[in-house]
Copies of this chain bind each other. A is one copy, B any other.
Amino acid sequence: MKDHNADPVTDLVTGLVAALPEGRVLTDPDVTESYARDRTFVPPGKALGVVLAQSRDDVVATLRWASEHRVPVVPRGAGSGLAGGATAVDGCVILSLARMTRIRELSPADEIAVVEPGVITADLDRAAREHGLMYAPDPSSYEISTIGGNLATNAGGLRCVKYGVTRDSTLGLEVVLADGRVLDTGRRTVKGVTGYDLTGLFVGSEGTLGVITAATLRLRRAPVQVATVAAEFTSLRDAASAVSAIIAAGCRPSMLELMDRTTLEAIDAWKNIGLEPATRAMLIAQAEGSPDEMAALCDSASFVAEASTPEEAAELVGVRRLAYEAKERLGQCLVEDVCVPRSRLPEMISAVEEAAKRHGVTIATVAHAGDGNLHPVFIFDRGLAEPPPEVWAAADEIFRGALDLGGTLTGEHGVGLIKRRWLGLEIGPVAAELHLGIKQVFDPLNILNPGKAI
């Protein structure tokens, strides 16, 4: 206690500092501000401070303190989220898990890894590959995103057309509950039905039910052969139809990515990829393992480029991974994430194009096309504090269009803050009530990432 006349807020933070090992709490307003945002435009609230957790015990101490004082806690990983899930709320403590970077175990025999939430996704993949294995979920941001953030949003990625999303690779979790109690869910086996599926419930819950401090993740055998091809199309709809043809031909690609002209122009402007004037869309596809699958992939579309070396393949895929950064160079971005049954992909593409035209907004679309998952990225003026009304009007039309086609508001980014106003449209009032009931069971004081996701 340095100052007996300190205000209540200072007293509060002093208590937090005292509850944790030295150096864990940052309170400098400029520093706090730098932890208060994810990758969206959403203006953050003012946080009391940042906890840089280095262990489960740090998380326990933080949540005990937060429960005692009813302080909101906003967990975060790398801040690469695209829905405002890690945006600070007023009076909160930001709980960063980014320093919990230990891979506690990697068992090639059981094909599992036990990792802390701050492990970078691509680092886990690289560690697995040393044993001929891989960690399948690979969001575009996987070189910067953390496993904890991936778990919070049930992240997908480029390979999930074949290997599924983060939940499909999650066998068990260590979670600190809102009151500081520690819970172990799930197991080290790929099968198991003892009790309710708490593991699945935490994955994708965007930090609203507990703070994940370790995860037992499933690894998979890394493919030995991969064919990578790229095809250019003179219309976006043709490219979407090629996707349907590839799937209908019985091919099971491990990657099937689509980019529209606006996206390609943004990449070309940045990296000079030699974009042809007639090219309106590009598909980048990979197939692995079976030569039959690769043949089916190549026969189904008029591909113009097949990578003949791993370096060429990496370059083709690299073009796709540049898409988001390239678009950020054009202005502020609102990245959307609708997903439709894959047979409806051409219709959804048309709906996006029509919405852009009708509302006079710039939309650059990439899609994990094999999953029917589109990312229409709205690009707007960097000077604006938030997306202008015409962007929201077009987004609204796209969200409703996706739901009409039997799809969802968000395939892999989460609801966060920016999609909450459409949530009820998708889940309906009965589910909404059950969500609040579940939240109440896990977090009765509503301190965990309040106002997000549900």
Q: Which residue of B lies closest to A409 (CB)?
A: B194
Instruction: Determine whether A343 belongs to the interface, using a CB cutoff of 8 Å to chain B.
Output: yes
Q: How far is the CB of A348 from chain B (nearest CB, A)?
A: 11
The stretch that binds B, out of A118-126, A201-209, A309-317, is: A201-209
Instruction: Determine whether A438 belongs to the interface, using a CB cutoff of 8 Å to chain B.
Output: yes
By the criterion CB–CB under 8 Å, are B412 and A191 in contact? yes
By the criterion CB–CB under 8 Å, are B339 and A191 in contact? yes
Chain A 85-99 interface 0/1 with B at a Cβ cutoff of 8 Å (1 = within): 000000000000000
- Please indicate which of the listed interface residues A192, A427, A431 has the most CB atoms of chain B within 10 Å of its own CB: A192
A interface list, Cβ under 8 A from B:
107, 109-112, 132, 153-154, 156, 160, 164-165, 167-168, 177, 181-185, 187-198, 200-201, 203-205, 209, 221, 224, 244, 247-248, 250, 252, 289-290, 292, 339-343, 368, 371-373, 406-415, 419, 423, 426-428, 430-431, 434-435, 437-438, 440-442, 453-454
A187 to B441, CA, bound (A): 25
A437 to B444, CA, bound (A): 11
Q: Which 10 residue pairs of A and B lie closest in terms of their CB atoms, listed nearest first?
A: A437-B441, A200-B200, A109-B343, A192-B408, A191-B411, A110-B341, A188-B406, A154-B193, A197-B200, A193-B204
A247 to B197, CA, bound (A): 27
By the criterion CB–CB under 8 Å, are B430 and A191 in contact? no
By the criterion CB–CB under 8 Å, are A192 and B290 in contact? no
By the criterion CB–CB under 8 Å, are A415 and B371 in contact? no
Q: Which residues of B contact A244 (CB under 8 A)?
A: 109
Q: How far is the CB of A186 from chain B (nearest CB, A)?
A: 9
Q: How far is the CB of A250 from chain B (nearest CB, A)?
A: 6
Q: Which residues of B contact A406 (CB under 8 A)?
A: 187-189
By the criterion CB–CB under 8 Å, are A413 and B193 in contact? yes
By the criterion CB–CB under 8 Å, are B407 and A193 in contact? no
Question: Could you list 8 further interchain pairs (A-B, Cβ under 8 angstroms) beyond the known A191-B372, A193-B204?
Answer: A154-B193, A154-B197, A165-B191, A181-B430, A190-B372, A221-B250, A221-B252, A438-B441
By the criterion CB–CB under 8 Å, are B371 and A196 in contact? no
By the criterion CB–CB under 8 Å, are B153 and A193 in contact? yes
Q: How far is the CB of A346 from chain B (nearest CB, A)?
A: 11
A339 to B190, CA, bound (A): 9
By the criterion CB–CB under 8 Å, are B203 and A197 in contact? yes
By the criterion CB–CB under 8 Å, are B407 and A187 in contact? yes
Q: How far is the CB of A342 from chain B (nearest CB, A)?
A: 6
Q: How far is the CB of A130 from chain B (nearest CB, A)?
A: 15
Q: Which residues of B contact A203 (CB under 8 A)?
A: 197
Selected from B182, B193, B289, B407, the residue in CB contact (under 8 A) with A289 is B289
> What are 30 contact pairs spanning A and B, CB under 8 A?
A109-B248, A109-B341, A109-B342, A111-B247, A132-B250, A154-B197, A182-B430, A183-B430, A187-B339, A187-B407, A187-B408, A188-B407, A189-B341, A189-B342, A189-B406, A191-B368, A191-B371, A191-B411, A191-B412, A193-B204, A193-B413, A194-B415, A194-B423, A194-B426, A195-B415, A195-B427, A195-B435, A198-B434, A224-B292, A437-B442
